[in-house]
Structure 1
């Protein structure tokens, strides 16, 4: 986790420096805003990864001397079939079309997207592990 955190920290620093330099030299608001959003998004990912590293410590992937058998531990359950990705994709597409076509289609898209997101979040609650 520490390697990923450093990677996104470096990316955030790059976008931060580029945003300041581009905004100062060009005085162009659209490019500056896009770079600023890139800085914020990479900073959020870096902050999340640093927090997870602080909570969980080193993983076997972080150690050079780790063996394959060290990677045991929590096993994740992935259902064989799930329709929630289809719902989430359809809802996202409808929201995108709704921005162009009208509010009514955007609202339908949110109505389709919400069950997809909730299904992703809660589909494994009944699993024993």
Structure 2
């Protein structure tokens, strides 16, 4: 994951530089916002890859003399089906509709979205690196 973190950090720096030049020359808020969000999103991916590399170490496929069999065995924990992604989508939909129809619906959507996101985050909080489910 080290190579990926450097790649996305480079993309973030590119978007930061482009954003600064665009903000100076164009003075147009929509483009500046889009470039800023692009910089932040690539920085988040770079941070995730760097932390994954720090936590799990190097991968077998990163070694120059790696073979396919080096990656054999258990790779990681993959969660089974979950009901929380549809709940999260429903909460986001209610929030979007609430922008049009009223604050009350927006607040209900915030509650549903909070429940869905917290459910996804904490659903497998007790799962350790070596245990299933």
| TM-score above 0.5, yes or no | yes
Question: TM-score, structure 2 length as denominator?
Answer: 0.79
Name whichever of 23-32 and 115-124 sits farther off.
Answer: 115-124
1:77 and 1:124 in contact (8 A); partners too: no
Q: Which residue of structure 2 aligns with residue 91 of structure 1? A: 91
Distance, in Å, in 2 between the alignment partners of 1:104 and 1:61 is 51
CA, structure 1 residues 100+63, in 2 after alignment: closer, same or farther (shift >3 Å)?
farther
Q: What is the 5 A alignment of 1:99-114?
A: 99-114=99-114
CA, structure 1 residues 16+77, in 2 after alignment: closer, same or farther (shift >3 Å)?
closer
Q: Which structure 2 residue ranges, 5 or more long, are not aligned?
A: none
Q: Which residue of structure 2 aligns with residue 12 of structure 1? A: 12
Q: Secondary structure at the match of 1:90?
A: helix
Name whichever of 48-57 and 99-108 sits farther off.
Answer: 48-57
Per the TM alignment, residue 109 of structure 1 is displaced from its structure 2 partner at its CA by 0.8
Name whichever of 112-121 and 11-20 sits farther off.
Answer: 112-121
- Asked if 1:119 corresponds to 2:124, the answer is no
Q: Which residue of structure 2 aligns with residue 32 of structure 1? A: 32
Q: Secondary structure at the match of 1:27?
A: coil
Distance, in Å, in 1 between the alignment partners of 2:76 and 2:22 is 46
Q: In the comparison of the two structures, how many residue pairs are matched?
A: 128
Q: Which residue of structure 1 aligns with residue 79 of structure 2? A: 78
Q: Which structure 1 residue ranges, 5 or more long, are not aligned?
A: none
Distance, in Å, in 1 between the alignment partners of 2:60 and 2:114 is 36
Q: Secondary structure at the match of 1:58?
A: coil
Q: Secondary structure at the match of 1:66?
A: coil
Question: TM-score, structure 1 length as denominator?
Answer: 0.81
CA, structure 1 residues 64+96, in 2 after alignment: closer, same or farther (shift >3 Å)?
farther
